[in-house]
């Protein structure tokens, strides 16, 4: 049962349809690199064949050797051209063509020297060292991450080898022996080695190559999934926190209640501004704006919770609370100050380009929230929920009412320890709250 599960898991790992796109892209890129390396390897083998032809110029049929070498070289050159100019689908088809062509070429050379040597039976073909060349197509498969190639090559070898063996037995062309010395140096064959020894060796070799491919694909899959997760996490968390999460994958699995500082911001008069902008310009504006704001959040150990149109929500104290709520509150307010300053710098650039400057309103509140993974198995995201989130959003909305750019709650103010210059505002009644809110303006300029 465990063996069956292991085999099933192996097939699932190799199933490209079940792979995430990020993993598939990495695997395809590595596979193409493997095809290129295989092509270089073929030139190396061609050089080896050429050296063998030169060394054995007086020991073989030079004309036939050159013909066989030329066919192999033409196949290799065609493979090079196909790789450079054709799409992946054509390359894959040609890989199969090359596989069959190389087996046919090796078989042709093997049979030629079997039937051109006098007083030699088919046992010579079974013992000939040319059989080792059938291993090359199997080796190529390792570089291309295709287990299918391995077993096709193994099947072709078995089909050729056992066909020769069957013909040799049925036509009485084998001379048997039980002596290893005569088997190695004479025309006789050792039946156990011929029937099971060499084929078993090829099978073991194919299994080892397959395991190498499986382990490589598994590694690429794990790395690809990890990189995909890291990329996804980096959209919301600072690099430091992302690294911690990758080392401890269970960080986000369970939710818990904790004290968090929540920051909301949005662009003032964005609706009116967007009506006068074409979609491309609007997209560029939002992309650059979000990039600047995200950098500010990460620089202050914050988490980017979500974008809501032109609005941004960030939290401080997630997924791991700081040693004290004071640290998270100061990080949140410090982030808001940097946001306003970076925005001022960006507005100078926009003005120089003849573009409309942008104004934002920022609201921060500190309170208890539920923080953790929220959603179903089909779609799950890390977020925070609770009354403190609604309060932070209401405070940000007060920026319009009070005509201020940066407001914080009393709860946040009490955690700052007098670090910032604040201006106490009149208490304001907001939706969803029975008591008026006491807010403070942060003097960031």
pLDDT surpassing 70 at residue 240: no
pLDDT surpassing 70 at residue 52: yes
pLDDT surpassing 90 at residue 71: yes
pLDDT of residue 20: 66
pLDDT of residue 232: 62
- What average pLDDT is seen over the chain? 83
Please tell me which residue, 61 or 109, carries the higher pLDDT value: 109
Please tell me which residue, 203 or 187, carries the higher pLDDT value: 203
pLDDT surpassing 90 at residue 360: yes
Q: Among the listed ranges 31-40, 265-274, 369-378, which one has the minimum average pLDDT value?
A: 369-378
Binning pLDDT at 50, 70 and 90, where does residue 414 land?
A: very high
Mean of pLDDT values over 330-340: 95
pLDDT of residue 12: 58
pLDDT of residue 412: 94
Mean of pLDDT values over 30-57: 86
Mean of pLDDT values over 91-112: 90
Mean of pLDDT values over 103-115: 88
Please tell me which residue, 11 or 294, carries the higher pLDDT value: 294
pLDDT surpassing 50 at residue 3: no
Mean of pLDDT values over 225-236: 64
Most confident of 56-70, 332-346, 347-361: 332-346
Please tell me which residue, 380 or 339, carries the higher pLDDT value: 339
The residue among 228, 230, 231 whose CA lies nearest residue 244 is 230
Binning pLDDT at 50, 70 and 90, where does residue 444 land?
A: confident
pLDDT surpassing 80 at residue 36: yes
pLDDT surpassing 90 at residue 330: yes
Binning pLDDT at 50, 70 and 90, where does residue 279 land?
A: confident
pLDDT of residue 236: 58
- Going along the chain from its start, the domains and CATH numbers come out as 2-232 (no CATH), 254-442 (3.30.70.1230)
pLDDT of residue 73: 93
pLDDT of residue 327: 93
Binning pLDDT at 50, 70 and 90, where does residue 189 land?
A: confident
Q: Among the listed ranges 69-73, 131-135, 172-176, 401-405, which one has the minimum average pLDDT value?
A: 172-176
Q: Write the pLDDT tens digit of every residue in 420-435.
A: 899 999 998 888 778 8
Mean of pLDDT values over 260-278: 88
Distance (Å, rounded) from C-alpha 354 to C-alpha 365? 36
Please tell me which residue, 138 or 267, carries the higher pLDDT value: 267
pTM: 0.58
pLDDT of residue 276: 80
pLDDT surpassing 80 at residue 407: yes
pLDDT of residue 370: 87
Mean of pLDDT values over 177-206: 82
Mean of pLDDT values over 38-65: 84
């Amino acid at each position: 049962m465990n063996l069956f599960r292991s085999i099933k898991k192996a097939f699932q790992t190799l199933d490209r349809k079940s792979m995430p796109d990020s993993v598939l892209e990495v695997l395809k890129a590595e596979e193409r690199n493997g095809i290129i390396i295989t092509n270089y390897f073929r030139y190396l083998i061609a050089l080896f064949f050429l050296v063998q032809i030169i060394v054995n110029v007086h020991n073989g049929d030079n004309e036939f050797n050159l013909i066989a070498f030329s066919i192999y070289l033409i196949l290799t050159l065609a493979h090079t051209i196909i790789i450079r100019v054709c799409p992946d689908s054509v390359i894959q088809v040609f890989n199969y063509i090359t596989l069959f062509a190389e087996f046919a070429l090796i078989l042709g050379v093997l049979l030629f020297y079997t039937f051109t040597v006098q007083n030699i039976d088919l046992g010579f073909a079974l013992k000939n060292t040319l059989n080792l060349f059938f291993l090359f197509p199997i080796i190529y498969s390792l570089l291309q991450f295709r287990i299918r190639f391995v077993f096709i090559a193994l099947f072709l070898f078995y089909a050729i080898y056992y066909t020769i063996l069957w013909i040799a037995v049925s036509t009485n062309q084998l001379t048997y022996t039980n002596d290893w010395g005569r088997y190695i140096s004479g025309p006789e064959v050792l039946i156990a080695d011929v029937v099971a020894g060499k084929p078993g060796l090829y099978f073991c070799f194919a299994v080892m190559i397959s395991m190498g491919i499986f382990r490589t694909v598994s590694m690429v899959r794990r790395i690809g999934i990890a990189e995909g997760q890291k990329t996804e996490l980096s959209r919301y968390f600072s690099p430091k926190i992302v690294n911690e999460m990758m080392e401890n994958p269970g960080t986000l699995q369970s939710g818990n209640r904790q004290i968090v500082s929540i920051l909301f911001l949005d662009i003032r008069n964005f609706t009116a501004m967007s009506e006068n902008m074409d979609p491309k310009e609007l997209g560029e504006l939002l992309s650059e704006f979000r990039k600047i704001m995200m950098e500010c959040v990460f620089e202050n150990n914050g988490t980017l919770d979500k974008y809501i149109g032109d609005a941004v929500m960030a939290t401080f104290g997630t997924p791991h609370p700081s040693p004290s709520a004071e640290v998270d509150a100061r990080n949140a307010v410090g982030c808001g100050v940097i946001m306003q300053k970076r925005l001022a710098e960006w507005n100078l650039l926009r003005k120089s380009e003849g573009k409309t400057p942008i104004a934002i309103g920022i609201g921060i509140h500190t309170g208890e929230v539920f923080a953790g993974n929220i959603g179903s198995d089909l779609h799950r995201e890390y977020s925070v929920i609770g009354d403190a989130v609604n309060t932070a959003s209401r405070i940000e909305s007060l920026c319009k009412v009070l005509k201020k750019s940066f407001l914080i709650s009393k709860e946040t103010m009490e955690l700052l320890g007098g670090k910032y210059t604040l201006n106490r505002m009149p208490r304001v009644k907001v939706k969803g709250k029975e008591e008026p809110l006491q807010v403070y303006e942060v003097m960031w300029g």
